[in-house]
Structure 1
Amino acid sequence: MPHTHVVTGAGSGIGAAIARRLADRGDRLILVARDALRAAELAEQFGASASVAADLRHPESLAAAFANAGLPDEIDSVVHAAGVVDLGAVAELPVEAWSSQLAVNLVSAAEITRLLLPALRAARGQVVFLNSGAGLTAHPSWAAYAASKHGLKALADALRGEEAPHGVRVTTVYPGRAATPMQAKVHEQEGQEYDPSRFIDPESVATAVLTALDLPRDAVISDLTVRPGPRPK
């Protein structure tokens, strides 16, 4: 029986790989995109049953966007794959860089989850947060991004306990560096040459996410770390 999934960040990278895999197996997709035009493009690309035009940079606008989207009463999963990154030392990073990363990576994920919890509870569904290795360890120049991802871990951990009585599972996936457009941007900011062959294929992360979603109901993958495999020299 097809399941219904809400996916953010389906426009590229890991989110796109997850959306494609779910669509290819016949599940129903509801895709969240920054504006109506992009939402329509993604809905056509993936054959989504619905889309939501919602700008994650403005969490305060999400309630109205989701209220007007006509979403179903039962949703099997919400996959939070959207994210932004802007590197910089604490001494140099402007407040806008902090605000945007916290808004997109953390606050919007919390708000979308809140808005969809009634439908998730009705389906005994699952929330999947695509976190990062930066959600476990912060390195120089990564303070703002890591703070947003550390916060995302806290959100997931608290939510897991709160929603267990309602039958809602919560999973956090911590991918290492993956070969995505975001990774290309990171390398540009770091002033390094980008070689995608050195990093995890987004399809591998998508496999990890689908494994968590497909796990029988008697168990939950609460936290899953995905690291680049050994590369022969």
Structure 2
Amino acid sequence: MKTALVTGASRGIGRAIAEDLGRDHHVLVGATRDASEVVATLPSAEPFEVDLTDAAALAQAATQIESLDVLVHSAGVCPWETVEGSSLSTWREAFELNVFAVAELTRLLLPALRRTTGLVVAINSGSGFHSGEKAAVYSGTKFALRAFTDALRVEEKGRLRVTSVHPGRVDTDMQVQLQKDMGATGYDGSLYATPESVARAVRLAVDMGEDASVDEISVRPSGLVLGGAVR
């Protein structure tokens, strides 16, 4: 059985990806805590509980993985502040998790991924292509993440594949908080794509034969009316 590590797998998009890959992969459920709840729902899984911003702890955890078929980076934060209202600590915390942790965990696991001609998937965002009001910090991290995956794809060509997934608005806890931060009144999750739809995009990249690579995927809410609700 192939092995997949999914960070941010305790909720939202990460959990949906872990559940989808759990159908035919042994899943390392990445979370700072509470990974056991997800592990219990999967046919073959174990926790990968580590603070991704703790370099020493991350290095120690990575030494336990000798071979890896799929690495999915889904953990992240979404600060929504003006440049004037943001603080240096906000910038640092966002880049630590959204970029630096991704780069370091990938670097540590390159030998394990090369052994299987594996796949690295970064859950980016539509904000990885454009920015706007109050998006400087978040978009900044996502632009940097896109630069990282683009470079990694070229450097590791022939040894592993790299896919960047760019969801638009997705019905998650993060989206609920984001809408509050944007001053929206009420919340209608049916307006957004589901985490399961993003997971299916990841599955497309995972199931692609070794002769081809899915470099980038954009996933957007369709706006279709399904079952009486706008989806």
Would the alpha carbon gap of residues 221 and 142 (structure 1) be closer, same or farther in structure 2, given more than 3 Å must change?
same
Take 1:98 and 1:48, find their aligned partners in 2: how far apart are those partners? Answer: 37
3-state SS in 1 of match to 2:85? coil
1:41 maps to what in 2?
37
Q: Does 1:26 align with 2:24?
A: yes
Alignment TM-score, normalising by the size of structure 1: 0.91
1:173 equivalent in alignment to 2:145: no
Q: CA RMSD in A?
A: 1.6
1:14-163 alignment runs, 5 A limit = 14-23=13-22, 25-35=23-33, 38-59=34-55, 61-67=57-63, 70-71=64-65, 73-163=66-156
Q: Is the 8 A contact 1:59 1:103 kept in 2?
A: no
Does the CA-based 8 Å contact 1:52-1:66 persist in structure 2? Answer: no
Number of positions where the alignment pairs a residue of Structure 1 with one of Structure 2: 225
Equivalent residue in structure 2 for 1:220, among 210, 213, 216: 213
- 2:178 aligned residue: 186
Distance 2:95 2:219 in 1: 23
Kindly indicate whether the alpha-carbon contact (under 8 Å) linking 1:153 and 1:172 is maintained by their aligned counterparts in 2. yes
Q: Is the 8 A contact 1:126 1:171 kept in 2?
A: yes
Opposite residue 32 of structure 1, the aligned amino acid is G
Q: Give yes or no for the alignment of 1:202 onto 2:195.
A: yes
Q: TM-score, normalised by structure 2?
A: 0.92
Q: Which runs of 5+ in 1 are unaligned?
A: none
Unaligned runs of at least 5 residues, structure 2: none
**In the TM superposition, what whole-angstrom CA distance separates every residue of 1:184-219 from its partner, at most 9, and x where no partner exists?**
010111121321010001111111110111011111
C-alpha deviation, 1:56, in angstroms: 2.2
Measure how far apart 1:228 and its partner are: 1.1
| More helix as a share of residues | 1
Give identity over the alignment, percent.
39
Instruction: Report the alpha carbon displacement of residue 105 of structure 1 after superposing the two structures with TM.
Output: 0.8
Task: Give the conservation status (yes or no) of the 8 Å contact 1:86–1:97.
Answer: yes
Q: Distance in 1 between matches of 2:120 and 2:36?
A: 24
CA distance in 1, matches of 2:114, 2:146: 21
| AA in 1 matched with 2:214 | I
Moved more, 56-65 or 2-11: 56-65
When residues 59 and 146 of structure 1 are mapped into structure 2, their CA distance, relative to the original with a 3 A threshold, is: farther
Comparing 129-138 and 44-53, the one that deviates more: 44-53
How big is the shift at 1:157?
Answer: 0.3
Secondary structure at the residue paired with 1:46?
A: coil
Amino acid at match of 1:9: G
**Inter-partner Cα distance in structure 1 for 2:43 and 2:90:** 34
Inter-partner Cα distance in structure 2 for 1:90 and 1:60:
32
SS at match of 1:78: strand
How far the C-alpha of 1:60 sits from its partner, in A, is: 5.2
SS across alignment from 2:164:
strand
